Amino acid sequence: MSNHNHPTSALNKTEIPRGNATGFIKYLKYDLVSGLLVFLIALPLCLGISLASGYPAVAGVFTAIVGAVLTTVMSNAELTIKGPAAGLIVIAVGAVTEFGYTGGQDAAADFQAYRMALAVGVAAGVLQIIFGLVRAGVLGDFFPTSAVHGMLAAIGVIIILKQLPVAIGQGAKGEPLEILREMPEKFAHMNPEIAAIGFVSLLLLFGLPILKAKFKNKVLNLVPGPMVVLLVAVPMGMYFDLSHEHTYSFVGHDFKLGEQFLVSVPGNLFKAIAHPDFSCLQTPAAWKWVIMFALIGSLESLLSTKAIDMLDPWKRKTNMNRDLVAVGIANTVVASIGGLPMISEIVRSKANIDNGARTRFADMWHGLFLLGFVALLPAMIHRIPLSALAAMLVYTGFRLASPKEFMNVYKTGVEQLIIFTGTVIAVLATDLLIGIGIGIALKFAIHMANGVPLRSLFWPYLDVSAASDNTVVITVRDSAVFSNWIPFKRQIERLGLVQRNNLIVDLAGTKLVDHSVMEGLHALGQEFENAGLHLEITGLDGHKPFSQHDFAARKRSMTRLRRVTVVANDTLQTDLTTKFVELGASGYTVIPCHGAGRSSLNNGNDASNDQARIEAVVPYEVAESIMDYLRTVSRDHRVTACLETVEVLKRDGF
């Protein structure tokens, strides 16, 4: 990050920017610049997400504009950008398909399906408002991290499968696995010129981050990938004359081109406004989509907001319930005029931080730039090839489901990978709600297999005692897992952050501490540090981590180590023990003894010699080093050595 964008380079480190009237003027230049740069990223993504969702292209722009203006006023989330998200594409296109969407074959049926989906959006927005009012923002802590990431990865796979055919000039209908089976045929019949735009767009999207990492140029880092794609794809579309119907030949085959491969927008923004058809809410099927929009949208928004709070250079904390109410109100309003559902979007929010934003007015500026562009230059939007927008969504899907994501989950533990992969497969085979439900069920099954008592799955057993005037000890029994984390976290916050105490959380009495809780305790530790308090986690010495990751789940068990036993002449005692310590042994035991070896007995000499028996319990790698050393000693001295695997209560004791 360049110095001029670093939050503390131009401002006092102790100064905390606030999104109030004073902050609007004081940080105007920072927020305005960031808003402009985020707008350049948001414009093509808003259009692409809308079209992929079965909505008119401008619907996503409506979402970003309304979200930016309303949530800036109502929420205290300082750095999050509100708008349509790729993660909701699957739900949106599922909803319009439920209501009769034909993918362009019947314009009247498509428009009616769109209006019914808007009614679902209004109802979901009202439900989100209720979530916020009843303080349900904490529910974001219930869902296990691996299951949520698995759901997002599955969404990424679905986006890739549905948008890759569009990038090569083909359509994509049906279930994800059905589209996958048809993919070879789609590539065999792709439209070469449309595919050229799609492939060049993908090359730019995947190649630009590599160039930025290699050259580390501050000007290059400011260039948004999606805008680079448009700067190349629009001239390619003009060169191929996509705005006029015509046919061309390639390798003996004829292909059609025309405006159907360009983004369609009305010349007047007000003509794009549409209103919901609430008659669909009389059917049970509609309420399935209401629940999915409200639940998955709220969950994604909460997780994104939490992630951005952790990246906030000033560590400002968003009121999750207030933010949920703000998003719900904005969703209700925008669905009433024809927009997509919105969330706090992680990619644009991260760009907002990197571009030097100070307050939530950066979100407002990005929305106003969108409004100005769409209102004044709709003809420019009509020049954008659909294949370029599809390529952007393919890239977004790849980032959600990249091999790196699978490796990151694996590093936290094999059981996390099982939950993650199980959720991905379940979502692809069923739908989002059932899929994440299966992921959570897998997590419960793994916890119970690891000995978590049924009674402690949903409620933590805590004992509270005072260690000193300003230090409180919370002793946890049975388990500390994702499903009992919410009341556990509330107790920590109440005793520590609210009552201003340092806390010691003793986990020695737990059978299992899962990954979600380890991650949550780490986040709370940062909150305590920011508040000038201390949170200490103890009692995990007797727990075996499932992997080397800092946030790996831990199960109470005996730890396997190696015991090295050596019998040698007592004159070697000092040399041997000194070398053991040098090689990593944290301690040893020496027992004087007497004895005779086989060669002495065979020679008729049964006189025992003064010897020393040395024992050390060490980790596996240290044991190997000690045995290598003893092999060299045995060349010149009579040494007896053996190696055993032993189980100990606490690994840290060795």
Residue with the larger pLDDT of the pair 268 and 182: 182
Task: Measure the CA angle with vertex 581, ends 578 and 584; round to 5°.
Answer: 150
**Of the candidates 338, 345, 323, 298, the residue with the CA atom closest to the CA atom of residue 72:** 323
Residue 606's pLDDT is 58
In contact, 24 and 358? CB cutoff 8 Å = no
pLDDT at 105 over 70: yes
Tell me: the pLDDT tens digits for 354-365?
999 999 999 999
How far apart are alpha carbons 616 and 411 in whole angstroms? Answer: 31
Minimum mean pLDDT range among 18-27, 56-65, 108-117, 167-176: 167-176
pTM above 0.85, yes or no: no
* Percentage of the chain modeled with pLDDT above 90: 77
pLDDT confidence tier of residue 3, bands split at 50, 70 and 90: very low
How many CB atoms are closer than 10 A to CB 294? 24
**pLDDT value at residue 402:** 92
Phi, psi of 302 (to 5 degrees): -65, -45
Beta-ladder partners of 554? 513, 545
Determine the average pLDDT of the residues in 255-266.
92
Q: How do 502-513 and 535-538 pair as beta strands?
A: parallel
Residue-wise pLDDT tens digits, 522-550: 999 988 998 899 999 999 988 889 999 99
Please check the confidence at residue 602 and state whether its pLDDT lies above 60.
Answer: yes
Residue 294 has pLDDT above 70, yes or no: yes
Rounded to an integer, the average pLDDT of 8-12 is 46
Average pLDDT over residues 614-622: 93
Q: What pLDDT, on a 0 to 100 scale, did the predictor assign at position 266?
A: 85
The SS3 assignment for 105 reads coil
What pLDDT score was predicted for residue 651?
A: 67
Distances (CA, A) of 218 to 7, 33, 212, 269: 15, 15, 9, 36
Q: Which two tokens stand for residue 405?
A: 């994501």
> Residue 418 in contact with residue 309, Cβ under 8 Å?
no
**For residue 7, is pLDDT > 70?**
no
Integer Cα distance of 332 and 94 in angstroms: 19
> Are 622 and 585 contacting, i.e. CB atoms less than 8 angstroms apart?
yes
Cα separation, 620 vs 561, whole angstroms: 6
Mean pLDDT of 213-226: 83
Domains 454-555 and 558-653 share a fold: no
pLDDT band at 468 (very low <50, low <70, confident <90, very high): confident
More confident residue, 219 or 327: 327
Q: In the predicted model, what is the mean pLDDT of the chain? A: 91
32-61 residue pLDDT tens: 999 999 999 999 999 999 999 999 999 999
Question: Cα Rg for the chain, rounded, in angstroms?
Answer: 31
pLDDT band at 9 (very low <50, low <70, confident <90, very high): very low
Check whether domain 454-555 has CATH 3.90.960.10, yes or no: no
pLDDT at residue 10, rounded to an integer: 46
Cα 638 to Cα 420: distance, rounded to the nearest angstrom: 55
- pLDDT at site 290: 97
The pLDDT of residue 515 is: 94
Domain assignments of the chain as residue spans, ordered by start: 3-8+18-409, 413-449, 454-555, 558-653
Classify residue 589 by burial, with Cβ atoms within 10 Å: 0-12, 13-18, 19+.
exposed
Question: Which pLDDT score, from 0 to 100, does residue 431 have?
Answer: 85
Number of residues in the chain:
654
Structure tokens at 646: 């032993």
What does the DSSP 8-state code read for residue 588? -
Does 242 have pLDDT greater than 90? yes
Structurally, what CATH architecture does the domain formed by 558-653 represent? 2-Layer Sandwich (3.30)
Task: Give CA–CA dist 276/329, Å, rounded.
Answer: 16
173 band by pLDDT with thresholds 50, 70 and 90: confident
Q: What are phi and psi of 352, to 5 degrees?
A: -60, -45
> What single letter denotes the amino acid at residue 19?
G
Which tokens is 368 given? 């106003």
371-413, pLDDT tens digit by residue?
999 988 888 999 999 999 999 999 999 999 999 999 999 999 9
Q: What is the mean pLDDT of residues 3-29?
A: 72
Q: What pLDDT band is residue 2 in, cutting at 50, 70 and 90?
A: very low
Cα dihedral: 358, 361, 362, 366 (round 10): 180
The pLDDT, as a whole number, for residue 638 is 87
How far apart are the C-alpha atoms of 69 and 184, rounded to whole Å?
Answer: 45
